[in-house]
Structure 1
Amino acid sequence: MIAFISALFGVTVFCLLIAAFHTNGLNQDNLNRRLASISGKSIEDVVDEEMKKPLWERFFKPMINLTAKFFSKYLYSADDSKKSEQLRKMLRQAGITMSIGEYNAIRLIVIIFFAAIFLLIGYMLKLKKIMIILAPLLGMYSAFTIMRFNLTSNITKRREKMEKQLPDILDMISVNVEAGLGFEQAILHVINHFEGPLVDEFTITYREMTMGRTRRDALVLLGERCDIEDVKSFAGAVIQAGKMGISLKNVLRTQSQAIRQSRRNKIEERAMKISVKMLIPMVIFIFPVIFIALMGPAVIRIIEELGGM
């Protein structure tokens, strides 16, 4: 009887999977046939190219998109929403290229997974009913906190990398402009010879300028995407130089020197804070040992004297 029920359950799951993915499979087959007819390749070659893609693109990303579409009524994804705009900005600053719907779907999956894990742990530890009820809530809160912390941590790390890379990139742009290149050509030279998150942002800016967006608008968007005061200052200086007809090479040289001085001041400020931060481990770990070494013999002597009385 148990074997029959297991087999029936397996057949049911199989039928449900076929019903769920049958339409999607037909659409994919039709797409592969059209691609094969356009490219002149056989359908086997197109399928082989599809199978060479990473597992994330072949399986997980379509599943996340389906989840995002299914829960689109419950996940805030309105374009005019302040939360949606703030989340989009944070994803952009963290260097995450996925959409808001995909990120919300991943976050929902992680929250459900943590809730199930905490519920299972509660049953395994044989906790009280109230604790078993609170365990999934704790798991959901933990998952949300971890996702939020991971996003802010990625933003901080990426911003630090951009701040570290900014003086070198500005020096290269300044040298290229002084050598006779235009501002756009200088940015293209930097893009071809540097790598990093700041170079990625300059790549977006260069593409926007080549596609017809004005230099002013492209630089303003660059400052908003990076959200770094030095980058905003650089963008504002270049815009002002173009508006007032000032020599761009002098502006770039001045901005490079000012940013290096600003970075030097920040390093000195951090160095001056070290002495204050060292007080905490000294008070916790060093001072008690010193007190024990100094006062220990005296305390022992006092105890012996009082015991002799």
Structure 2
Amino acid sequence: MNTTFLTFAVLLFLATVLAIEGIHLYWMSHYGAQAKRIAARLEFSSTANQGGGQPLSILKDHKLSDSQWLVQLLADVPGVHTLDRALKQAGMKITVGRFVGYTFACAAMGPVLGVLLSLKVPVQIAIGCALAVAPWLTVRRKRSQRLKQLERQLPDATDLIARSLRAGHSFASALGMLADEMAEPLGAEFRTAFDEINYGVSMNTALHNITERVPLDDLRYFVIAVLIQRESGGNLAEILTNIGYIIRERLKLFGKVRALSAEGRLSAWILALLPFVIVGILAVLSPGFIKIFWTDPSAEKLAFICVGMMAVGILWMRKIVRIRV
């Protein structure tokens, strides 16, 4: 084999390897993870040395959206923080911006279905509004389920803290044990509070933050009892044991009320769904009979009146069968 060609091939291979290595080193030094950490530390140091900068917080910053311009737009909308709090209470990881996008996407399905089914504009608007409410109803349902699960876990949590206090542990270490041993979602909430305390947040602030994240009356009683005991003294283990007993008895009473009102709730569901089921069956068996409700003007007005009266009846039945304990 020609020696010159072999030497050229070896040199070309070495040049290619060195070029790739040089590009890799350049990328890592400017855009790698270590370079980003160094840049973040330098930016943090420069910000900390400026006197007129924003006050630093050790609490985690929560963004309303991944897009900066959408964050600035949502920041001025009233009620956006209430929606953000509801998403966090539901245990959903999506941001407010993404939730708004889902809402607009569902609302846009109304005109699309209206065009495909040749419906009139008022019907399209009504379908779009009904579909736009679907994401919020999903959030409320998940939030209610999560809060109920938290409420069921709370008596066991108070008993665990009381046993830890009787064993000689401090209240802060009892919170850490609770965060490690309690299942989700209550364990995650107390883990957040325990981390806040370790990072320097005061005990009172960390406990108040729990009540903001979890709006349960029983949890507020728990926090109030702990704060009063820290100010005035007393047997905290006995207090927490009594709180756990009261919560369990209230849950038992609530279960009895639900069992006694099950027939009424089932009747309400049947009365609420029966008109829509009948309309659906008639639309399949006799399309011409139902078609009059969106072709004749008088029938359209009558349909809107009927839907409005059914909505009022559903809300009234819901108020009757919901019994607070």
TM-score (norm 2): 0.58
1:249 aligns to what SS in structure 2? helix
Q: Evaluate the alpha carbon distance shift between residue 30 and residue 83 of structure 1 in structure 2; reply closer, same or farther with a 3 A threshold.
A: farther
Q: Is the 8 A contact 1:190 1:199 kept in 2?
A: yes
Write the mapping of 1:1-309 to structure 2, written as runs, cut at 5 A. Answer: 34-35=31-32, 38=35, 65-66=66-67, 69=69, 76-78=74-76, 82-112=78-108, 114-115=109-110, 118-119=111-112, 121-125=113-117, 127=118, 131=120, 133-134=121-122, 136-274=124-262, 276-277=264-265
* CA drift at 1:282: 11
Length, aligned pairs only: 219
Could you give the per-residue CA deviations for residues 39-58 of structure 1, whole angstroms, max 9, x where no partner exists? 9xxxxxxxxxxxxxxxxxxx
TM-score where L is the length of structure 1: 0.61
SS of equivalent residue, structure 2 residue 173: helix
Could you say what the CA RMSD is over the residues aligned between the two structures, in angstroms?
Answer: 3.2
The structural deviation recorded for 1:134 is 4.0
Residue 254 (structure 1) shift: 1.6
Q: Where does structure 1 lack aligned partners over 5 or more consecutive residues? A: 1-28, 40-63, 284-309
Asked whether the equivalents of residues 99 and 135 of structure 2 are also in contact (C-alpha less than 8 Å), the reply is no
Percent identity over the alignment?
Answer: 20
The answer to whether the 8 Å contact 1:77/1:101 transfers is no
Distance in 2 separating the partners of 1:213 and 1:247: 24
For 1:227, what is the secondary structure of its paired residue? coil
Instruction: Give the AA of the match of 1:90.
Output: A
Shift of 1:200: 1.5
Query: In the alignment, is the contact (CA less than 8 A) between 2:90 and 2:140 conserved in 1?
Result: yes
Question: Over residues 64-119 of structure 1, what are the superposed CA-to-partner deviations in whole Å (9 max), with x where a residue is unaligned?
Answer: 845x73x667x6432xx54122212211211123432333233333433x24xx42
Q: Deviations over 1:163-209 (max 9, x none)?
A: 11111121111111111111111111121122211221111111111
| 1:262 to partner: Cα distance | 1.7
Which residue identity lines up with residue 32 of structure 2 in the other structure?
Answer: L
In structure 2, relative to structure 1, the CA distance for the partners of 1:84 and 1:37 (3 Å cut) is closer
Say if 2:157 and 2:178, in contact at 8 Å, map to a contact too: yes
1:239, CA displacement in angstroms? 0.7
Moved over 6 A (4+): 29-32, 278-283
Structure 2 unaligned spans of 5+: 1-25, 37-64, 272-325
User: Which digits, 9 at most, give the CA deviation of each residue in 1:279-299, with x for residues without a partner?
Assistant: 76999xxxxxxxxxxxxxxxx
Give distance in 1, aligned partners of 2:32 and 2:107: 38
Deviation at 1:217, TM superposition (A): 1.7
